[in-house]
Structures are given as structure tokens and as C-alpha cells.
Structure 1
């Protein structure tokens, strides 16, 4: 009589870290956020992201970044956070002379 192997205990999915997934397409120059997923480790995050977000071979590079490692500004602080650049008028091109022969400016 053969014994059935006991499956290894798995950690519940809720305890897996959340990853943000960025994919660079074949025609793109930058990575674009395409979604989020939970995975047990970095390798699993990359494999699952490949299977989930590049099913039609549209990607050439994938970044899987733990959400806890991303520093972001808060949406409710957008006015005070970006306000300092408004008082630096030298950053605006209105003070520069643009030659006539320069197109598309």
C-alpha cells in the first residue's frame, strides 16, 4: 500500500507581498504600469507577470517591484507638493527669444 505524500504547507495568498508590474513593449521606449499581483517571491512575480500581462508576446522587458519599495507623493498633497515650481518663472520659456527658423516650439 502506497502512502499519499502530504502537501507542504503553503502560506496564504493574503500574506504574499504585493508587486506593481511594469512592461516595456516592443515599440515602447519606457516601461508602463500594467497592474498589480501578489507573489511569494521576486521570481514568482516575474513569471506570473509574464503569463498575465504579456500573453500575446507584446513585451520585451518586465519590472516587478514590491509595492512597499515605491515612494510616491500623496494625491491630496498635489498642490503644496508641486507649488514650488510655479514661483520659478525662469523655468518658463516665455523669457527666451526663439529664432524664426526653429520649427514646432
Structure 2
């Protein structure tokens, strides 16, 4: 008579020398990739970073993001991006990264007067 086990939550599964049991390492949630979630609240507004989540794949990440971050119809569009795919500058590199634009005076309208009848400048 074979032995039985309920391992894996599948009920009584026969095991023993006459029944081969293949052991596979299961991928647990902590091994899932981290995704960053961006939601656009209304049409025409930029996507805003709202949080992070772990998911086994891209499709599940979109579904999980919808369930977590748009429960009250806050969004019209969701972006999920693997955190490992994001490249960002460091705050320590602020001066070397952004200082070159300071010496380009033509980018700033400080050398001419704006007419009174031009709104929103």
C-alpha cells in the first residue's frame, strides 16, 4: 500500500517507491520581480508613481496594480515597469548632471521684457 501526503495543498497524493514524485523548486513570492506602478488619473494628465509590487510576470503585475492602486476608479491608465529595468541619476550627481544648463542664458527669458498683453508667461 502506498504512502500518502497532502504536501502542496492538493489533497492526498500517493507517494512511495512505486510512484515517482518529481520535486520542483517552487518560485515563492519573495522571488518575484519588483515592479514600479504608475497611474494616470484623468486623460491628458501625466502618469504618477503610486507604489511598488511584486508579481510573477508583466500581465499579473498590471492586474495586481489595478486591484491595489485603482480600487475606487482613480485611474484611466496603468504602467508597470520592472524596477530592474529603470536607470536613474543619483542625487549626488545633481551638480554635474544639471549644472551645464545654467550657463545657457538663451533658455531663460531674463534678457528681454515680456509685453503686458502676453498672458501666462
TM-score, normalised to structure 2's length?
0.75
* Correspondences of 1:54-69 after superposition (within 5 Å): 54-69=70-85
Q: Which runs of 5+ in 2 are unaligned?
A: 1-9, 14-23
Q: Which runs of 4+ in 1 moved over 4 A?
A: none
Query: Which residue does 2:33 correspond to in 1?
Result: 17
Q: Which runs of 5+ in 1 are unaligned?
A: none
Query: Which residue does 1:4 correspond to in 2?
Result: 11
Listed one character per residue, the Cα deviations across residues 65-105 of structure 1 (whole Å, up to 9, x for unaligned) are: 00111121111111111110011111111123322211232
* Correspondences of 1:1-105 after superposition (within 5 Å): 4=11, 10-26=26-42, 29-105=45-121
What is the number of equivalent residue pairs in this alignment? Answer: 102
TM-score, normalised to structure 1's length?
0.85
Q: Distance in 1 between matches of 2:111 and 2:99?
A: 20
Tell me which protein shows more helix as a share of its residues: 1
Q: Larger RCO: Structure 1 or Structure 2 (Cα < 8 Å, ≥ 6 residues apart)?
A: 1
